[in-house]
């Protein structure tokens, strides 16, 4: 079964909690805090696989959760990090954030791509020892891993896309020029899924051709099967438009040509400007007048024109060489740029006072669940991120509360794993 769209949920592993522990050894009294940090949670990683050509695996399994990091140990031992969860998808899969529709990754190679990052482990209590606070009896929890609802969409990676009405000979052509073995029969919609074939031109030179099935008038509006597969034309560097020049099924070749191009343009305006070669197939069944009339029609539009009979192999070789030469002048297969932007955390009025501040050994400890999200988004070594963090503390009321509790300049404030000196 060919499945080229799926919606799944992924969650990276949470970081392990830091440990509260004190050194115990013979002849050493009051060894001090030695609680280790928690381990990092596992990432969710996508890897392209050339052995897959459908998203059917995601039809039945929807939830993917990476392992959490382990808790820190004694003697400052860091907990074990959770292993990455590797998800294999077909080459050509676009990963989008299901909520915003933004592109998070284009899996066009076999290089691994991290989609959801695991949370960092919490600090053990040895981090919090100071000359004033020598026996910290607390550690920090791990940071939660990222989680997303994802939309997976397969867009085949092919140099050439064969388009045209059903039963015009696309499947016959790809079976002649490549090792692909599509089902071929004399009725519409014989081909129900896109078919890929590698066309060898010369030693060390080849290109990938895709038979895009089911296009009919109204396909871009959901009529017929073609609307399911139009997305696969988007990546193609060159469109080869196959037309039944004989009109043996009672259709006009010119009207067929215009109808298919209209559907391509309706689906995506960029396809209307895509490089295109027109092939008049079934020439063995057409009259010279039919071929010549259609040639003039196509060449008047400035398009390359070829006459062929895929069934008898007439004109196939010149077409293959012309396609290869044309591809040499065209840019590489389209890659989709990453457009995903992480959400900024907005603190609502209802959540504004949902925090707790306590003082332990002279340290002001701020606790708030929503601050975990803030820390997951910012780089504390980046000035702009620090400015954003300060604005969040001010707008949420934390700064006002600290001042109300008597915090003085130079006092230590602790928020999750981050400690800083308070400055007015």
Domain co-membership, 102 together with 230: no
Token pair listed for 407: 């915090």
Domain co-membership, 28 together with 124: yes
CA 298 to chain centre: 39
pLDDT (0 to 100) of residue 381 = 66
CATH number at residue 124: 2.70.210.12
Domain co-membership, 244 together with 302: yes
Give domain status of residue 224, yes or no.
yes
Q: What does each of the 424 residues of the chain score in pLDDT, given as a tens digit?
A: 567 789 999 999 999 998 988 887 776 666 788 889 999 999 999 999 988 878 888 988 999 999 999 999 988 899 999 999 999 999 989 999 999 999 999 999 999 999 999 988 888 888 777 776 677 777 878 888 999 999 999 887 889 988 888 888 888 898 888 876 655 545 444 445 677 788 998 888 899 898 887 665 554 454 444 456 677 788 889 999 999 998 877 789 999 899 888 888 888 788 778 899 999 999 988 899 999 999 999 999 999 999 999 889 999 999 999 999 999 999 888 888 888 877 655 555 555 558 888 888 888 888 887 776 676 556 666 676 677 788 888 888 888 889 999 888 888 888 876 778 888 7
Q: Which of 327, 358, 391 is the last residue of a domain?
A: 327
- From 237, 220, 226, 234, select the one nearest 168 (Cα to Cα): 226
Domain co-membership, 16 together with 121: yes
Domain co-membership, 361 together with 405: yes
CA 106 to chain centre: 5
Domain co-membership, 123 together with 191: no
Q: Which of 91, 126, 156 is the last residue of a domain?
A: 156
Domain co-membership, 151 together with 91: yes
pTM of the model: 0.69
CA 149 to chain centre: 12
Domain co-membership, 319 together with 278: yes
Domain co-membership, 34 together with 80: yes
Q: Are strands 44-49 and 160-163 parallel, antiparallel or unpaired?
A: unpaired
Count Cβ atoms below 10 Å from residue 189 Cβ, excluding itself. 14
CATH number at residue 288: 3.40.50.300
Q: Which of 97, 125, 156 is the last residue of a domain?
A: 156
Count Cβ atoms below 10 Å from residue 297 Cβ, excluding itself. 16
Count Cβ atoms below 10 Å from residue 390 Cβ, excluding itself. 11
Give domain status of residue 181, yes or no.
yes
How far, in Å, CA of 160 to CA of 241, rounded? Answer: 10
- From 377, 360, 370, 417, select the one nearest 398 (Cα to Cα): 370
Report helix angle 316-327 to 170-177, nearest 10: 80
Percentage, residues of the chain above pLDDT 90: 34
Residue pair 102/339 in contact (Cβ under 8 Å)? The answer is: yes
How far, in Å, CA of 213 to CA of 231, rounded? Answer: 12
**Degrees to nearest 5, angle at CA 118 with 117 and 122:** 135
Structural domain range at position 381: 345-424
Give domain status of residue 334, yes or no.
no
User: How many independent structural domains does the chain possess?
Assistant: 3
Residue pair 139/33 in contact (Cβ under 8 Å)? The answer is: no
Domain co-membership, 86 together with 115: yes
């Amino acid at each position: 079964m060919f499945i080229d769209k799926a919606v799944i949920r992924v969650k990276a592993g949470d970081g392990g909690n830091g440990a509260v522990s004190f050194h115990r050894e013979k002849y050493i009294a009051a060894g001090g805090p030695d609680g280790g940090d928690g381990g990092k949670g596992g990432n969710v990683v996508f890897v392209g696989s050339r052995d897959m050509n459908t998203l059917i695996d995601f039809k039945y399994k929807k939830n993917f959760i990476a392992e959490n990091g382990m808790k820190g140990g004694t003697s400052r031992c860091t907990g074990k990090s959770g292993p990455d969860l590797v998800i294999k998808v077909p080459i050509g899969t676009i990963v989008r954030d299901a909520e915003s529709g933004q592109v998070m990754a284009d899996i066009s190679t076999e290089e691994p791509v991290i989609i959801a990052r695991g949370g960092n482990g919490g600090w053990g209590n040895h981090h919090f020892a100071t000359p004033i606070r020598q026996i910290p009896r607390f550690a920090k929890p791990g940071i939660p891993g990222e989680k997303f609802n994802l939309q997976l969409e397969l867009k085949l990676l092919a140099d050439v896309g064969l388009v045209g009405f059903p039963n015009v000979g696309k499947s016959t052509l790809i079976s002649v020029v490549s090792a692909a073995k599509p089902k071929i029969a004399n009725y519409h919609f014989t081909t129900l899924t896109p078919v890929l074939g590698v066309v060898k031109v010369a030693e060390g030179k080849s290109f990938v051709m895709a038979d895009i099935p089911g296009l009919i008038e109204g396909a871009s509006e959901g009529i017929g099967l073609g609307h399911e597969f139009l997305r696969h034309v988007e990546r193609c560097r060159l469109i080869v438009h196959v037309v039944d020049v004989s009109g043996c099924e009672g259709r006009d070749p010119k009207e067929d040509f215009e109808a298919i191009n209209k559907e391509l343009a309706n689906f995506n305006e960029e396809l209307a400007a895509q490089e295109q070669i027109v092939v008049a197939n079934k020439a063995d069944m057409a009259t010279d007048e039919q071929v010549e009339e259609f040639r003039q029609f196509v060449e008047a539009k400035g398009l390359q024109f070829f006459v062929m009979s895929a069934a008898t192999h007439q004109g196939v070789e010149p077409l293959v060489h012309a396609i290869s030469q044309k591809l040499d002048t065209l840019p590489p297969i389209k890659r989709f740029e990453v457009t995903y932007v992480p959400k900024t955390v907005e603190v609502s009025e209802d959540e504004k006072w949902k925090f707790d501040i306590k003082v332990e050994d002279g340290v002001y400890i701020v606790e708030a669940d929503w601050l975990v999200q803030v820390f997951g988004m910012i780089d504390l070594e980046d000035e702009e991120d620090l400015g954003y963090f300060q604005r969040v503390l001010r707008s949420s009321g934390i700064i006002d509360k600290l001042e109300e509790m008597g915090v003085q300049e130079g006092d230590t404030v602790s928020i999750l794993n981050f400690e800083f000196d308070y400055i007015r």
